Each structure stands twice: as structure tokens, then as C-alpha cells.
Structure 1
Amino acid sequence: MYQIGNIYGITAIAVIGGGLFGFDISSMSAILPTQQYRCYFNQGPEGPPFTDSTDCSGPNANVQGGITAAMPGGSFLGALVSGYLTDKLGRKRAIQIGCMIWIIGSIISCASQNIGMLIVGRFINGLSVGICSAQVPVYVSELAPPSKRGRVVGSQQWAITWGILIMYYVSYGCTFLDGPTAFRVPWALQMIPAIILAIGLLFLPESPRWLARHDRWEETQAVLTLVHGKGDPHSPFVKLEMDEIKQMIEFERQNADVSVTELFRPRMLNRLHIGIFTQVWSQLTGMNVMMYYITYVFGMAGLSGNANLISSSIQYVINVFMTIPALLFMDRWGRRPMFVIGAVFMAIWMFTNAGLMASYGHPAPPGGLNNIAEQSWEITGAPSKAVIACTYLFVASYAPTWGPASWVYPPEVFPLRVRGKAVALTTSSNWIFNFALSYFVPPAFVSIKWKVYIVFGVFCTAMAIHTFFAFPETAGKTLEDVEEMFLAGVPAWKTKVDYSNTRRAEKGVLDPEKAAHFEQSPERRENAEMKA
């Protein structure tokens, strides 16, 4: 069967798996404030089934938190399971299984007759998102050349932003339909990207590192030739990649136990802590809260109806276009600046919003604004415009920094022998925190109101400090070079990008021996020179 060899073509298909998460986020955020949704799943005096009444209060804060959190709850389990699936069946097959699960979950959500059925459908959707979000970055990172790895793996985040944007406008358009059709149609349309992804994967190669791990060396050589050698099996860079993969696998088999318990041994524990906190901090930025509940936030700022939905959509547009600079330049910038600088700016906007809400806002009437309890605080006039502006600036700070970098980084820090299981575990930590935030934020808006912004501002400050001192630079290094960097124990703040030397090796400018030396990271060369 024909296989796509261009890394950008491979990425364009694979990262549709990230788009599934985006579709889920905005299909919920656009529908939450609509009369059709709130009346059909009403828990107020009138209750279900659907009614045209304008007094429907919808699910209460705790139940709505449970509905929203069902998806990340399923994603937590899916991410954990994905480690076993990907190691046994391969990266491609695991993602295809995720596609099938997504279609099943979308059918159940679309057909939901009550809150319980909706929660089940979203939980099943979450299983799929957990598998795809954990294994798509692993798959793409193992195929990408070092100088493009950040760009192509970061495309997962870009696919998420496109999924959010497209589905938001589809859902917004459907709000003009009558009755349950307003939410059934967008939840049914969620199946389309999963079908495209499942078919597209048939034309993609398997990860060469997974093939090598299963002693399928001829296929490994063929994939590297296809993707990195442009059809030339004698390409210097293909030889370099083959030699490094062989050496690393031989080393692992002679010196390492490949059980999941290795992740908790002293030599690997630091990397596990880094991988887990990359995903945990990405949630504690508060970005996904803004994605799910932006209509609540803008409702407190005085927007309602179509004005709220349209204004909320602007942040999704910002999210899409501000991710582009990271895709173009993150392999030159490095991961560390993206983590530290992004966290500092996000903290600024969160604390600014908290100050505006505290200084110029006041409690909403009993029951909340527009009969929505979560909108329990109100701010009007010029300060409300400033809150909206700071929200947009927060998104513009997240999109080119933590958004793509948090997906790129975890697959880079782990060796091949445990990469599938390790990334599954780190991604599951993302989803368990997503679950917690999705569930507790609606009640938090009711109980502590504007202080929610302070909580996330403190988190952003803490992550800026933590990433500066604990997260080493992985940009511009082969995955095997990253392994040597950790083994050498180089302090995180002394690591740096080695983009230009890696590009020389990829282009075969040097002979193989010199290219191998050039391809080594600065830390690896310094370590070798010290030993000499």
C-alpha cells in the first residue's frame, strides 16, 4: 500500500487526533448557555423533557461540572490504557482504536435522552481522547527529524485549536435550530474527523523506533529511508539514525528492565517528575477552564446571548493564529523560554483580572446572571472591557508557549524502552487535573467568585519558577542525545538549544563521523571532552 513519506503530510493526518479534543471542548462551551440545552437537561422546577420555557435553569453547578468532567475522566483512563496498547500493537494501531471508540461515544452523546446517558457518551469520548492525546505526540516525535520535532509535535496543539474553532462555529450555527436538534447535530458531526483519521492512518508508516524495538529492522530501514532519506537508503542521516537507534536498543536490552516500575527508580524518577508536571502545569494555567467556561466568564463581564457567544469565539481565533509562531520557531527558541516566559505573562493577566473583578465588581443577584448560577459575580462598564481584553491576552500568551510545548516535551525526555508507557502516565496526569478543574470550577465561580483568578495566577507563578530550575532544554537534540544529557546530569539552567549543528547533520554536510559529532548536543560533547 502507498505510504506518505513527507513528515508534514504524516503530521497533518496524525494530529487530527488532537482535533478530537478540540471538537469536544467547543461543542460543550458553545452549547452550555443555550436555551435548548438548559431546558432539555433542566433540573429546575419544570424539569425535563424539553420545553420552550425561557426560565430553564439547566443542570446545577455540580451536575454541570460532572457532565463536563466526564470527558477528561474517561481521558485519564484512556491515557493509562494507551501505554499498553501502543507497546503491544504499535503507535498507529492504538490511535486507530481511539478513533473507533470516539465514534461510539459520539453516537451515544448525540442520542442522549437524559443527563446520565450524556455523561456515559462523554466518558467514552474521553477514552478516545486519552489514547490519541498520549500516543499521537509519541508517534510523531519518533518519526520527526530533530530540527523539526517541535514543529510537528506542536502541531497537535494547533489541531486542537482548529478543532475548537471549527466546532465552536458549527455549534453556534446550530443554536438557531429548534429543540434538541441544536445540540444533537454538532455532537453527531464530531464523528467526521475520527473517520478521516482512521482512514488516513492506513497510508502512514509505523514508528521506526517501535519497529526496531520489535526487531523489524528491514521495516525500520524502509521507514527512515522514506521519511528522512527521501528514498535514498544510503543517506548519511539515515545511517546516523539507524546507528543511534541500534546502539540505544542494544544498551537498553543489556542494562535496563523494561517494566513500568523502572519509571519509579531513582535514575528515571526526575524525568517522570518533569513529564508529569509538564502536563499538570499545562492544566493549572487555567487555559482549559477558559475554553470550557468562557461563556460564564464573559457573562459575568456583562455579555449575554449572541454577543457572548461571538465574543467568546474571538479567543478561539486568537488561539489558532497565535499558535503559528511557536510551530515556526519553537525548535530555534527552545522549550525552556516558552515555559518560563509563557507562565510569567499568564500570571500577569490572571492577577490583573482578579484585581479588576475585586475592585470594580459586585455580587450578582440571587441565582446568578441570566438565571445561570455560575455567573455569580458581575462587572460592568470600562472595567468589564478590560477583563475581556485581559482574557484575550491570556490566551495570546498561552497559545505560542505552553500550548504546543506541553505536548512536545514529555515524549522527548524519556528513553525508547519506556516512552510509550511514560507518556501515557504523564498524559493521564493531564487528564486527571482536567477532570478536577472541569468538575470544581463551576462551583468555584459560585463560592469564591473572582478569587478563582488568584488561584490560577499563583499556579502560573509557581510553574515559572519550577520550569526554570528543573526543566532541561531538549530542542535541537536527537532523542538519543536527550538520553545522554539526562545520564550526564547537566543542570537544567545550563542546557541550551543546538539547532544549527543538528541541521548540518541532517543535510549530510559533514561525513558520517564528523556529522555524528556535530549532531551531539553541547552537553554531550562537553561530557565526552571531559572524559577524554
Structure 2
Amino acid sequence: MSSGIHETKDESRQDDVVEKAPSVDVLHSEVLGNKDAMNEAIHAENREHAEGMLAAVKAHPMACIWAFIMCFTIVMESFDMFLNGNFVAQSAFQRKYGVLVNKAKDEYAIPTKWQSALFQSGQCGAFVGVFLAGPVTNLLGYRWTTILALMLMNATIFISFFADSLAVLTVGQTLEGIPWGFFIANSPAYASEVVPLVLRGATTATLQMSWSIGGIIVAAATYGYNKRDDEWAWRVPLALQWIFPTPLLILIFLAPESPWWLVRKGRKEEALRSIRRLASGKTKEHSEQALAMMERTVEIELAQGGTPTLLDLLKGTDLRRTLITCFMYASQNFAGNLIANQATFFFEQAGINPNRAFQLNLINSCLGFIANALSWPLTAWFGRRTIYLWGTATNVMFLMILGICASVEQNSATNYAQAVLGIIISFVFAGTLGPITYTAIAETSSIRLRALSTAVGRAAYYVAEIPMIYLASKLLNPTGWNLAGKCGYVWGGTAIVCWIIAYVFLPEMKHRSYREIDILFQRRIPARKFKSTVIDVKDNE
């Protein structure tokens, strides 16, 4: 309570200073060369630092809503990822496209090569999409790029729905992956740019919640149709993909463009209107100060380089930022996440009967949603680095226990123990590593290179994921190595490597403005000293 009172007093003092300051035409002035404009930018940044989370939500309700809507586009990628994981465990799908593996029990399985193809095809398409997303977004903005991707999504679903072979289904998934690349490249960048500093962690964390929502819908649909023995067991879940693109397209058409993108393009009047739409209660003076703050940061970055290109990601301090972004994205594949993506199939291989496996998958998806919600206060209480390191260490422990549990003599108790451990690992990932990754990558990249940086970072995710999906399928498939829970040893080992890299290279960026982050990287501050380094509010380099 007392903290809130102090914040209110601080804001009142800042407002008094602002009202006494000379009027500045922020639409027609360069901030770095104008003392009064610099004061406006400083006041705006101080106000963001002083603002508490609850106060920020009350002051920027529409910014939170638009950020969530943009993040919700990720539900389509998660829907398809979880859908393929459920198809390979579906008896009707197995009999239609699989091979006989147990004649006595009349059991079928999808061959490892096709199972991997289904999992990898969408990611291959998304790999193309993320590289297209950066240049297109720089040209058209976040809104129109996402609208075009949603239109493409609507069209490509037809191929998957009408597919009559694994080959055609794989082609359909590949083409669907292209718009996924646009969604995942743009969503964290847009969400981080439309909300104030204190809300960046919570809003970008909703990306993981969108993954969970997609998983819940898939789990419910496939559980409901699992007992069917005809083609509609998988065609109806495929058709459910059409629920999302058109409503999202309409909503995003109505959304404001990121004011940061508009400032980068020199469209200050539109940026000012966007700022006012994102914070309906913000006064004219506060809106103009926010614009000056954005212009100040953009001018600092422009002084370091001109028109952004992919090569800029590999130059100077931006190389370090690019490597951190790529690592954070790629590491999602190495700490148990692939168990969550193939949960139903994992449960079956752990010895759970198919119907109960689908039930457990639904429970797993719902718990993931709860974990995502719990990540919001976590991002307010703890730093990004702290959450990542502790979340990874926790999953290392549970993954190793999973491996041990699968190594002893198997019975019903050990089967369920493996299933429960798989759910716990997914829960930890959904509450820590998953959401904090999106927050970290959105904050690491510079404003000037953000669209390109998030795209390349996601490309690194797919470069890591495509071979790991094959490995995950090989680890679990009866036609592969059939290791069940022993895969915990593999993912536990890779998670240890991720923890070590993060400890050395992942900086703490909580409570840092984009200007401060730029300066910290420019000064080449070591990752472990980011939190303690003091940046003066008047510093520009």
C-alpha cells in the first residue's frame, strides 16, 4: 500500500515539472538536439519507471487487449503442433496411414519417417515465413503483415483438410507453416512495443498462454473424436482451424499500429494518435512526452546505423543481441518442451491405455494454461534471468527422475509415475521457460532491428527444432528406439547445457527501458552485471 502511495506522489511531482516546462512541438523537432524535447523524453521515461503494474493496467487497458489479440495468433501454430502429436496416437489415423506393429493386438503405428515429416513440415514452412516476416513488416507494419498472413492461413487450411494421404497432409502443413512464421515473428515484438515498461513481461508471456489455449482445444477435440473409427476422427479437428483466422483478421484490422514502428518511419502524427488509442486516459502532454521518449531512442539507434538489413544483425553489439535472441528461442527445444508437444503419444509409450492418454493430455493442457497465468506475477516479482535459470534447473531435476523411473522394472505404478512426471515437466516449462523466453527476446533486440531480430531468432528455433523433432520421434516411437521415459536422460542433459549458457550470457533486463538496454549493450556490460549497472536518465550512449 505504501509503495503505491509513493509512486503516486512521484508521478504527481513529475507532472508538476512537466506542466511548468516549455511547450515543445514534438512532431517537428529532433529530440537529441533539443534540450526541451529531451526533458519531455526524460519525464516520460521516469514516469514509466515509477508506474506500478496495477496502475499501468488501469492506465493502458486497450494496450493490454491489443497485445493479447496479437499474441493470440500463435494459437494457430500451437493448434497444429499439438494436432499432429495427437493424430499419431489416434487409432483411426493409425489404421488408415500406419503399419502393423503387433498382429496379436491389432496395433498400428505411424512410421517414424512420416511421424517426423508431419511434425517437421509446418516448422519448415514457418522457417521460410519468419525470414519473409522481417522485411515485410519493416515495409508494411505489424498490422498489415499479420492481416496478410491470416488471409494466407485461411487458404492453406483447405489443403490439409482435404488431404487423402500423408504426403498431401505434409504439403498442407508445410504451407500452413508460412503464416505461422509471420505470427511468431511479429507477436512478441508488437506486444512489447504497445505496452509500458512494467507490463512487457506479462503481455509477452501471454504468447505461451496462446500455446496452451491451442493445446486445450486440440486435446478436447481429439479426445471427443478419438473413439470414431472413420476419417472424421481427424478431419473435424483439422476443420476447427477455421475458427480463428477471420475473427482475428477483423480485430487486427481495427487495432492501432505500433507507435514505435510509426516513429521509425517518421510518421509522428500517426504515432501520437496510436499512443492515445493505447492509453485512453493519457493527457495530451503525457502522450507527447511518450512520443519524445520513443523518438529519442530511435534517434540514438539511427546514429548507430541506417536502414536496417539482415547483415546489421551480425555487426558490432547487435551480434551479441542476435546470439542471445537465437539462443533463447532455440533453447525451448532442449528442456522438455518436446515431451509436451507429443504428450498423448508419450503417455501411450509410457504404458497408459489410449483413452486415458487422451484424458491426461487434456489435463496436461489445462494445467499448462494455469501455469501460464501464474507466470504473470512471476514476471513482476522476479527477473527474466532468475526465472529462466531456476525453471531450467527444476526441469533438469524432474527429467533425470523421469529417466530413472523408466529404467526400473515397469508396472502400473511406474507407468503412471512417468505420466505424472511428464505433466510436471510440461507445467514447469509453461510457467517459467516458455513465457520468459518471449519476454527476453522481445527486450533483447534493438528497436531498429526488432522485426528482423525476432524473425531470425525464431528461425534459430526451427533450425534446432526440426532435428530435435526427429530425435524425439525416434526416442519414443515403437518403430524407433522405444525409450519412453528414458528420454528424460537426453533432455535433462541438453537442459544442463542450456542452463550453463544462460548463466554466462543471459542478461537481466527487467525494469530497463529500451534506451537503457541499448546503452548497456553498447557499453558491452557483462550479462551478470546488467542488473547492478546504473544508467543515468540523461545518458544517450
Could you tell me which of 431, 444, 460 is aligned with 2:462? 431
Which residue number in structure 2 is paired with residue 171 of structure 1?
222
State TM-score, norm by structure 1.
Answer: 0.85
Among all aligned residue pairs of Structure 1 and Structure 2, give the percentage whose two residues are the same amino acid. Answer: 20
Unaligned runs of 5+ in 1: 46-52, 361-378, 498-521
Give the letter aligned to residue 82 of structure 1.
A
Give the letter aligned to residue 91 of structure 2.
Q
Could you tell me which of 91, 94, 102 is aligned with 1:38? 94
Could you tell me which of 36, 57, 74 is aligned with 2:108? 57
Which residue number in structure 1 is paired with residue 380 of structure 2?
331
Give the letter aligned to residue 511 of structure 2.
G
Checking the alignment, whether the CA contact within 8 Å between 1:36 and 1:180 is kept in structure 2 is yes
Is 2:223 aligned against 1:194?
no
Bigger mean CA offset, 205-214 vs 32-41: 32-41
* Deviation (angstroms), 1:42: 3.2
Bigger mean CA offset, 435-444 vs 409-418: 435-444
Q: How does 1:108-127 map to 2 (within 5 A)?
A: 108-127=159-178
* Deviation (angstroms), 1:169: 0.3
* Deviation (angstroms), 1:199: 1.1
Could you tell me which of 291, 302, 305 is aligned with 1:256? 305
Output the CA distance in 1 between the equivalents of 2:63 and 2:105.
52
Is 2:274 aligned against 1:223?
yes
* Deviation (angstroms), 1:385: 2.4
Q: Let me know the Cα RMSD of the aligned residues.
A: 2.3
Output the CA distance in 1 between the equivalents of 2:260 and 2:451.
11
Which residue number in structure 2 is paired with residue 13 of structure 1?
69
Output the CA distance in 1 between the equivalents of 2:420 and 2:204.
30
* Deviation (angstroms), 1:234: 1.3
Could you tell me which of 437, 441, 463 is aligned with 1:410? 441
Which residue number in structure 2 is paired with residue 273 of structure 1?
323
* Deviation (angstroms), 1:260: 1.6
What CA deviation, in whole Å up to 9, does each residue of 1:328-376 have, x standing for no partner? 330331201111000000100111111111223xxxxxxxxxxxxxxxx
Which residue number in structure 2 is paired with residue 312 of structure 1?
361
What CA deviation, in whole Å up to 9, does each residue of 1:272-303 have, x standing for no partner? 1110000011111131x223322232123221
Could you tell me which of 10, 19, 26 is aligned with 2:82? 26
Q: Number of matched residues?
A: 476
Q: What SS does the aligned partner of 1:30 have?
A: helix
Could you tell me which of 478, 481, 484 is aligned with 1:447? 481
User: CA 1:228 to 1:83, structure 2 compared with 1: closer, same or farther past 3 Å?
Assistant: same
User: CA 1:354 to 1:77, structure 2 compared with 1: closer, same or farther past 3 Å?
Assistant: same
Could you tell me which of 431, 444, 450 is aligned with 1:400? 431
Output the CA distance in 2 between the equivalents of 1:356 and 1:186.
34
Q: What SS does the aligned partner of 2:431 have?
A: coil
Unaligned runs of 5+ in 2: 1-59
Output the CA distance in 1 between the equivalents of 2:119 and 2:522.
41
Checking the alignment, whether the CA contact within 8 Å between 2:259 and 2:275 is kept in structure 1 is yes
Q: How does 1:254-403 map to 2 (within 5 A)?
A: 254-257=303-306, 258-287=308-337, 289-360=338-409, 379-403=410-434
User: CA 1:88 to 1:300, structure 2 compared with 1: closer, same or farther past 3 Å?
Assistant: same
Give the letter aligned to residue 488 of structure 1.
R
Q: What SS does the aligned partner of 1:57 have?
A: strand
Output the CA distance in 1 between the equivalents of 2:277 and 2:212.
30
Q: How does 1:488-503 map to 2 (within 5 A)?
A: 488-496=523-531
Q: What SS does the aligned partner of 2:89 have?
A: coil
Checking the alignment, whether the CA contact within 8 Å between 2:336 and 2:429 is kept in structure 1 is no
Which residue number in structure 2 is paired with residue 79 of structure 1?
130
Is 2:508 aligned against 1:473?
yes
Checking the alignment, whether the CA contact within 8 Å between 2:76 and 2:244 is kept in structure 1 is yes
Output the CA distance in 2 between the equivalents of 1:177 and 1:417.
52
* Deviation (angstroms), 1:188: 0.9
* Deviation (angstroms), 1:240: 3.8
State TM-score, norm by structure 2.
Answer: 0.83
Output the CA distance in 2 between the equivalents of 1:452 and 1:269.
34
